[in-house]
C-alpha cells in the first residue's frame, strides 16, 4: 500500500510540475484550424502481477458431544486464508473522446474493456477446534493447502475521466495523464482444478502431515461483479502524421481498490500493468 501511495504521489507531482511549466499556454487557442475535440482508441496487452483475496470466513459452530457419560463442549471454526490468484497475460482496448483546453492540456472521457485469464491460485483451509470437559481443554487444528488452476476469467469495464498533459514538440510529442473513475469487474470462475498439496492435523502439540492429492476439476459455473474505484497513470508519446491524425504508444499502470464480489470474496487493492498502441483523430 505504501509503494502504491508513493507511485500515485510521484505521478500527480510530475503532472503538477509539468502544468506549472506550461502555465503560459492556458487560455491560448490552437494555432491550427481545430475545434479542440478529438477521439482516440488504444489496444494492447495487460498483466496483473497478483490478485490477493482477503481471508474468507466460512463460519463457526459450537455443540456438545456426550461420550462415556461425560459432556464435551466442542468449538469449531473454518476460514480460507492466504488466498492469491496469479492471472495470465490478458488484453484490453479503449475508446474515448477529449477536448484540448490548449495545445498542452486536455480532458478526456475513456471507456475500456479488459480481459484477464485467472490462471492459477493458492489457498489455505484452516479449521481450528477445541474440546473441553469443563476441566481440561484440548486444542487442535486441521490445515489444508490448495493449488488451483482455473479456465475462468476476470473482465473489467473501466470508465475514467483523464487529465492529460502533452508537450507539442515537432512530430514527436511526449504524453502523460492521470485518470480517476470506476471499474466494474466480473469474476467468471467456471471450471477449476483443485490439487490438495498437503493436510496437517495437529492435536495437543502432535502433528500429522499427508501428501499431495489431485481432487480433480470442480465446475463452479458462476460469476460475481464488483464496482471498485480505479486510478490510472499513463506515459508515452504520440507521432503526428498530419494535423488531424496521431499514432502513439502508451505504458500504463492502474490501481483498483475496494473490490467486493460478494460471498465474502474481497480484494482490497491490486495493480494492472499494460502496454498499448494508440490512435488519435482531431476535428
Rounded average pLDDT over 235-258: 96
To 10 degrees, the CA torsion angle through 203, 207, 208, 213? 100
pTM: 0.81
Residue 138 or residue 111, greater confidence: 111
**pLDDT-derived band of residue 33, with 50, 70 and 90 as boundaries?**
low
Q: Above 50 in pLDDT, residue 18? A: no
Instruction: Name the residue with cell 502504491.
Output: 4
Rounded average pLDDT over 141-166: 93
With pLDDT > 90 as the criterion, what percentage of the chain qualifies? 64
C-alpha 195/C-alpha 189 separation (Å) is 16
Amino acid at each position: 500500500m505504501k509503494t502504491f501511495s508513493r507511485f500515485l504521489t510521484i505521478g500527480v507531482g510530475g503532472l503538477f510540475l509539468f502544468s506549472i511549466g506550461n502555465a503560459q499556454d492556458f487560455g491560448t487557442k490552437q494555432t491550427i484550424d481545430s475545434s479542440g475535440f478529438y477521439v482516440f482508441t488504444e489496444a494492447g496487452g495487460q498483466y496483473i502481477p497478483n490478485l490477493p483475496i482477503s481471508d474468507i470466513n466460512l463460519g463457526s459452530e459450537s455443540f456438545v458431544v456426550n461420550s462415556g457419560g461425560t459432556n464435551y463442549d466442542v468449538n469449531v471454526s473454518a476460514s480460507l486464508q492466504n488466498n492469491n490468484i496469479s492471472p495470465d497475460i490478458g488484453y484490453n482496448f479503449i475508446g474515448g473522446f477529449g477536448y484540448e483546453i490548449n495545445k498542452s492540456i486536455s480532458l478526456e472521457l475513456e471507456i475500456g474493456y479488459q480481459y484477464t485469464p485467472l490462471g492459477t491460485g493458492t489457498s489455505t483451509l484452516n479449521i481450528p477446534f477445541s474440546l473441553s470437559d469443563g476441566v481440561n481443554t484440548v486444542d487442535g487444528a486441521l490445515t489444508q493447502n490448495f493449488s488451483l488452476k482455473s479456465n475462468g476469467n476476470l473482465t473489467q469495464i473501466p470508465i475514467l475521466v483523464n487529465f492529460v498533459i502533452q508537450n507539442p514538440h515537432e512530430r514527436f510529442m511526449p504524453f502523460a495523464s492521470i485518470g480517476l473513475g470506476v471499474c466494474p469487474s466480473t469474476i467468471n470462475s467456471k471450471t477449476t482444478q483443485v490439487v490438495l498439496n498437503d493436510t496437517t492435523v495437529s492435536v495437543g502439540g502432535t502433528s500429522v502431515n499427508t501428501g499431495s492429492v489431485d481432487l480433480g476439476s470442480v465446475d463452479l459455473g458462476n460469476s460475481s461483479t464488483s464496482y471498485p474505484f480505479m486510478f490510472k497513470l499513463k506515459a508515452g508519446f504520440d507521432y503526428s502524421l498530419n494535423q488531424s491524425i496521431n499514432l502513439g504508444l502508451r505504458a500504463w499502470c492502474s490501481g483498483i481498490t475496494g473490490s467486493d464480489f460478494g460471498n465474502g470474496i474481497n480484494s482490497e487493492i491490486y495493480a494492472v500493468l499494460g502496454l498499448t498502441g494508440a490512435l488519435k483523430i482531431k476535428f
